[in-house]
């Protein structure tokens, strides 16, 4: 069976690693990126651009939590990348990119024939066999295709494109920060992990000017605690699937309450702490959470683990009206809890807050360009020489590079999901075309609509890759092979 994989980021690596070479004999991977397998997040960049999670939740191989940790042990001396507070290695994201590269290269040798073509795909025709069209005008035949095209890029909410001093997309920071003189006033739009990357990298470059984080809420992501075994029993995908009747928000909260109570924790206490954290000054919150990295309490750890492992299942079981408050009112809190910052970065930010170099401004109203920038926020106005955009794209956004490809599928009966992305079958990742899942077309990654509103991290992408590889194998017919080629 001949498989076309469109996009060569983490999702494609997870898929290649999961595929059964007895079922898939020929693989062609398409991606215009100069260096494949790294996608947007894991390209070469400053050493201050770190992975955002401990090794046990960064394995690209579903079902083998130690896969990445083993690779890291084999490629770095113990302690080199240690985040001392977390007690885990937190290497630069480019190092993780090398892990993805190694995993992909090893996986490719397992197929009879494998080829990486450095061109974007502009369309797929759903003929009797699929025809994949590339930007150079060539046509490539395939039996099945998987779209692994990733998510979007930051949105220009304030219409600043083209203004001198505006950085629309911060990555790679090695390039975008290079021309910012150290004494300039910098405003960073957003308060998520991208904003944290930017501040940590400005600090690593010895920036002395004022840095203002400007966002609606003025809050920051939470801080990781040392990973420990949580022994989750109720908030597992299996348990959630086994429940009879609707799984309302009330019922889900009941499960959280029970899960925590069985570990000697109180959901009411944790919820009160979370609410209080939202109104605390960011520096006070960071200080408190840095002191809690080693805290034995399991509450937050249980919520995080459950969100990563069972979040997608819970989301699909929730009645639509019950999803709304999570997606709107609680979006920021849930995102910050589920995707916290690493303690090393939290310590850098806290030092800057304490030194008075960093501030967090909430209630952002508008940003105007013209002889520098003027930022209107809840407490007044702030000027800046440079504005760096760290506004994350909405989940399930269609990446610009995939717009033509997606349009070609929409023209043949695929459909936009109302929450973003394409309508897919949740069990298999197959794209729904003309009302039915097409067994020849899959999505791995955020283009799959209907999932939770959080951008997929590595565990989510690895789980999707595993599910899709099984679906492909079911559909595949055995065939002959050739040799590995690159161009």
Ligand X SMILES: Cc1cc2nc3c(=O)[nH]c(=O)nc-3n(C[C@H](O)[C@H](O)[C@H](O)COP(=O)(O)OP(=O)(O)OC[C@H]3O[C@@H](n4cnc5c(N)ncnc54)[C@H](O)[C@@H]3O)c2cc1C
Residues of this chain that bind ligand X (CB under 6 A): 6-12, 30-33, 39-41, 51-53, 58, 120-121, 148-151, 194, 399, 401-402, 405, 445, 455-458, 461
Structure-token pair, residue 318: 């929730």
Nearer residue to ligand X within complex by CB, 40 or 251: 40
CB of 44 to ligand X, least distance (A): 13
CB of 445 to ligand X, least distance (A): 3
CB of 444 to ligand X, least distance (A): 7
| H/E segment holding residue 83 | strand 82-83
CB of 115 to ligand X, least distance (A): 14
List the alpha helices (DSSP H) in 3-151: 10-18, 67-75, 93-108
Nearer residue to ligand X within complex by CB, 152 or 165: 152
CB of 262 to ligand X, least distance (A): 28
Maximum Cα–Cα distance across the chain? 68
Nearer residue to ligand X within complex by CB, 119 or 248: 119
Nearer residue to ligand X within complex by CB, 278 or 410: 410
CB of 124 to ligand X, least distance (A): 10
CB of 90 to ligand X, least distance (A): 9
Say how far apart CA 198 and CA 193 lie, in whole Å.
Answer: 9
Nearer residue to ligand X within complex by CB, 347 or 401: 401
Measured at the CA of 484, the angle between CA 481 and CA 487, to 5 degrees, comes to 130
What sign has the CA pseudo-torsion 315, 423, 35, 198? negative
Nearer residue to ligand X within complex by CB, 382 or 430: 430
The backbone torsions φ and ψ at residue 358, rounded to the nearest 5 degrees and listed phi first, read -115, 140
SS3 track for 314-342: HHHHCCHHHHHHHHCCCHHHHHHHHCCEC
Report the first-to-last Cα separation within the chain, whole angstroms: 21
CB of 247 to ligand X, least distance (A): 26
Of the candidates 363, 360, 384, 359, the residue with the CA atom closest to the CA atom of residue 160: 384
Nearer residue to ligand X within complex by CB, 222 or 267: 222
Nearer residue to ligand X within complex by CB, 193 or 283: 193
The backbone torsions φ and ψ at residue 442, rounded to the nearest 5 degrees and listed phi first, read -130, 165
CB of 15 to ligand X, least distance (A): 9
CB of 463 to ligand X, least distance (A): 12
Q: What is the DSSP string of 340-377?
A: PBPHHHHHHHHHHHHHTSEEEE-S--EEEESSSEEEEE
Chain residue at closest Cβ approach to ligand X: 39
Q: In whole angstroms, how far apart are CA 294 and each of 87, 288, 334, 354, 355? A: 10, 12, 21, 22, 25
Nearer residue to ligand X within complex by CB, 56 or 269: 56
Region at 367 (left for phi over 0; alpha for psi -120 to 50; beta for the rest) = beta
Q: Residues 241, 308: contact at Cβ < 8 Å?
A: no
Nearer residue to ligand X within complex by CB, 4 or 375: 4
State the helix-helix crossing angle for 299-317 and 249-262, rounded to 10 degrees. 150
């Amino acid at each position: 069976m001949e498989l076309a994989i469109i996009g060569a980021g983490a999702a494609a690596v997870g898929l290649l690693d999961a595929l059964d070479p007895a079922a898939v004999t020929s693989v062609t991977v398409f991606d215009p990126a100069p260096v494949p397998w790294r996608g947007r997040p894991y390209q070469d960049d400053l050493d201050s651009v770190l992975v955002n999670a401990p090794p046990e939740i960064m394995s690209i191989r579903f079902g083998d939590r130690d896969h990445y940790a083993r690779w890291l042990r084999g490629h770095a001396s113990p302690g080199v990348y240690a985040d001392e507070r977390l007690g885990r290695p937190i290497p630069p994201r480019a190092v993780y990119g090398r892990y993805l590269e190694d995993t992909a290269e090893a996986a490719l040798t397992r197929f009879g024939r494998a080829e990486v073509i450095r061109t974007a795909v502009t369309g797929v025709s759903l003929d009797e066999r699929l025809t994949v069209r590339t930007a150079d005008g060539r046509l490539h035949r395939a039996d099945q295709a998987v779209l692994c095209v990733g998510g979007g890029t930051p949105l220009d909410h304030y219409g600043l494109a083209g203004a001198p001093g505006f950085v629309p997309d911060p990555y790679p920071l090695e390039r975008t920060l290079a021309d910012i003189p150290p004494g300039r006033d910098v405003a960073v739009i957003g308060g998520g992990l991208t904003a944290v990357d930017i501040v940590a990298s400005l600090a690593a470059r010895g920036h002395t000017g004022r840095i203002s984080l400007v966002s609606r809420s003025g809050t920051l992501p939470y801080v990781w605690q040392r990973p420990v075994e949580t022994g989750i029993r109720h908030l597992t995908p299996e348990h959630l699937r086994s429940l009879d009747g609707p799984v309302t928000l009330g019922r889900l909260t009941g499960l959280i309450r029970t899960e925590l109570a069985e570990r000697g924790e109180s959901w009411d206490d944790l919820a009160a702490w979370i609410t209080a954290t939202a109104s605390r000054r960011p520096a006070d919150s960071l200080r408190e959470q840095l002191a809690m990295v080693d805290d034995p309490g399991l509450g937050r750890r249980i919520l995080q683990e459950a969100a990563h492992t069972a979040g997608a299942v819970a989301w699909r079981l929730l009645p639509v009206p019950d999803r709304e408050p999570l997606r709107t009112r609680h979006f920021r809190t849930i995102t910050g809890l589920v995707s916290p910052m690493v303690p090393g970065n939290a310590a850098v930010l806290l030092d800057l807050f304490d030194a008075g170099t960093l501030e967090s401004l909430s209630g952002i109203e508008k940003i105007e360009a013209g002889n520098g920038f003027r930022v209107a926020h809840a407490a007044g106005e702030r000027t800046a020489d440079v504005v760096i955009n760290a506004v994350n794209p909405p989940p399930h956004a269609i990446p610009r590079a995939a717009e033509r490809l997606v349009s070609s599928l929409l023209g043949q009966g695929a459909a936009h999901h109302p929450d973003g992305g394409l309508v897919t079958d949740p069990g298999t990742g197959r794209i729904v075309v003309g009302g039915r899942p097409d067994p020849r077309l899959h999505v791995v990654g955020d283009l799959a609509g209907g999932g939770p509103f959080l951008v997929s991290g590595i565990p989510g992408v690895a789980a999707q890759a595993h599910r899709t590889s099984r679906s492909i194998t079911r559909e595949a017919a055995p065939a002959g092979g050739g040799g590995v080629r690159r161009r």
